[in-house]
Amino acid sequence: MISFIAQRIAKAVIVLLALVVLNFFLIRMAPGDPAVVMAGEAGAGDQLFIAQLREKFGLDQPLPVQLFLYVKGILSLDLGFSFRQQMPVSKLILDRLPATLLLTGTAFAISLAFGILFGALAARFAGTWADTAITIAALIFYATPLFWVALMAILLFSVTMDWLPSFGYETVGAGYTGLAHVLDVAAHLVLPATTIGLFFMATYARMTRASMLEVNRLDFVKTARAKGLSDAVIQRRHVLRNALLPVVTLAGLQAGTLVGGAVLTETVFAWPGIGRLMYEALLQRDYNLLLGVFVVCSAMVLAFNLITDLVYRSVDPRIEFAS
């Protein structure tokens, strides 16, 4: 198993470097550069000003030189310097990472737990009103755009009922500490985490339901019934466990997007996370910062792929570590 992991990590590093080079050129294909953006925002910029900025950012160097310097930095685990924010990229990312992980992690946990629960319920009571209700709800949340759900949630719970805060990570200036602070952050977390969670919850519910119904028809389930096992035990130990394999695949994919996948939600809820950082970096052509976020996201995706494989193995012992 260790050699399996080592091999996978070695491959991942190569993939990562390839991604860096690809992203490097993709980003630079977009029109405009950070110097022009900054001159634009200042409402004035003579030639000297723009030239100074380009020189400072190293944008006056030929592209291959820029790439070489960047890759060299990456290899020494240096993500470079943000042109616009005048700070090391790694610091900017590390500052924002916890907020994003909290948000997407919560959403992940909510969606997985409730998705599997509702899916299992729907399968158990297939054909009844409960199944219909769950299926319809899942379909609606699956098909509705996230930002619209977010805005409606804000309208209902913040504006109309005034139960939950509509933006931010905490109540600014309240100076809460200890438990009060935790509760405050939790209150701010509810709307954005649910917004992201609903979509995935719907996916998991649909998949769990379909998968369980399918497994229910298989021979080994019949055997278990014939053995006289109780229905609850059959559903839990035989059906659900086997039905979860496709859900694990999907969860692995979602986990990969935990870092970068919340751009819209973070923007609508003013959540100080990495999704927004990436979006703003894109709009400002802050190349190093944007690349840095890409690198971190890619690394996460690769890491989660590996973890997913390991989880597979524990869910289904038939899968072996062959290379």
Partner 1 sequence: MSKRKILISLATMCVLNTAAMAQGPKAGGVVNAVIQPEPPSLMIGLVQNGPTQMVAGNIYEGLLRYSPKLDPLPGLAESWSVSEDGKVYTFKLVKGVTWHDGKPFTSADVLFTIEFLKQTHARARGNLVQLDKVEAPDESTVVFTLKQPFGPFIGIFEVGSLPMIPKHIYEGTDFKTNPANNTPVGTGPFMFKEWQKGSFIRLVKNPNYHVKGKPNIDEIYWHVIPDAAARSVAYETGKVDVLPGGSVENFDVPRLSKLKNTCVTGAGWEFFSPHSWLWLNNRSGPTANKKFRQALMFAIDRNMAKDVVWNGLGKVATGPSGSAIKYYTGAVPKYDYDPAKAKALLKEAGYNGEKVRMLPLPYGETWQRWAEMVRQNLQDVGVNVEMIATDVPGWNQKVSEWDYDIAFTYLYQYGDPALGVGRNYVSSQIAKGSPFNNVEGYSNPEIDKLFADGAVAFPDAAREEIYAKAQKILVEDVPVAWMLELQFPTITRCSVKNLITTGIGVNDGFRDAWIEK
Binding site for partner 1 (CB under 8 A): 30-34, 36-50, 56, 84-86, 92, 95-96, 99, 151, 154-155, 158-159, 162, 165-170, 172-173, 267-270, 272-273, 276-277, 279-280, 283-285
How many other C-beta atoms can be found within 10 angstroms of the C-beta atom of residue 13?
Answer: 13
CA separation for the pair 46, 315 (Å, rounded): 63
Residue with smaller CB distance to partner 1, 170 or 311: 170
In the complex, the smallest distance separating the C-beta of residue 40 from partner 1, rounded to whole angstroms, is: 4
Residue with smaller CB distance to partner 1, 181 or 313: 181
In the complex, the smallest distance separating the C-beta of residue 11 from partner 1, rounded to whole angstroms, is: 34
Residue with smaller CB distance to partner 1, 60 or 231: 60
In the complex, the smallest distance separating the C-beta of residue 4 from partner 1, rounded to whole angstroms, is: 39
Give the CA-trace dihedral at 38, 73, 274, 101, to 10 degrees: -170
Burial class of 99 by CB neighbour count within 10 A (0 to 12, 13 to 18, 19+): buried
Residue with smaller CB distance to partner 1, 172 or 322: 172
Burial class of 17 by CB neighbour count within 10 A (0 to 12, 13 to 18, 19+): middle
Residue with smaller CB distance to partner 1, 9 or 155: 155
- The SS3 of residue 271 is coil
In the complex, the smallest distance separating the C-beta of residue 113 from partner 1, rounded to whole angstroms, is: 28
Are 207 and 251 within 8 A, CB to CB? no
CA separation for the pair 38, 2 (Å, rounded): 49
H/E run at residue 156: none
In the complex, the smallest distance separating the C-beta of residue 111 from partner 1, rounded to whole angstroms, is: 23
